[in-house]
């Protein structure tokens, strides 16, 4: 906790990785989305390797049209 101020300051630059859990990575062998437990290790390793400081999750609820991820498609 004492060291947190040095690395978690609002004065430092940050890089946000935004992702949609349902489509970020799949279990190809079983042709399905990965579970939260399966994603946890791989996501943390990936974010650290790519030097992101924050992760933003897009909505995780289901939408009737999966390709939209809940955003309105225009055009």
CA angle 50, 53, 58 (to 5 degrees): 90
User: What is the value of pTM for the model shown?
Assistant: 0.63
Average pLDDT for residues 38-46, to the nearest whole number? Answer: 92
Tokens of 65: 């049209």
Helix-strand-coil percent breakdown of the chain, rounded to 5? Answer: 35, 15, 45
**3-state SS assignment for residue 18:** strand
Q: Residue 29 pLDDT more than 80?
A: yes
Does residue 66 carry a pLDDT above 60?
A: no
Distances (CA, A) of 2 to 26, 68, 72: 38, 43, 44
64: DSSP letter: S
Q: Where are the domains of the chain?
A: 14-60
pLDDT of residue 17: 93
């Amino acid at each position: 906790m004492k060291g947190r101020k040095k690395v978690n300051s609002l004065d430092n630059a940050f890089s946000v990785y935004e992702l949609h859990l349902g489509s970020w990575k799949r279990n190809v062998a079983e042709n399905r989305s990965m579970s939260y437990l399966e994603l946890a290790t791989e996501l943390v390793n990936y974010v650290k390797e790519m030097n992101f400081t924050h992760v933003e999750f897009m909505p995780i609820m289901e939408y009737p049209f999966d390709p939209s991820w809940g955003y309105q498609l225009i055009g």
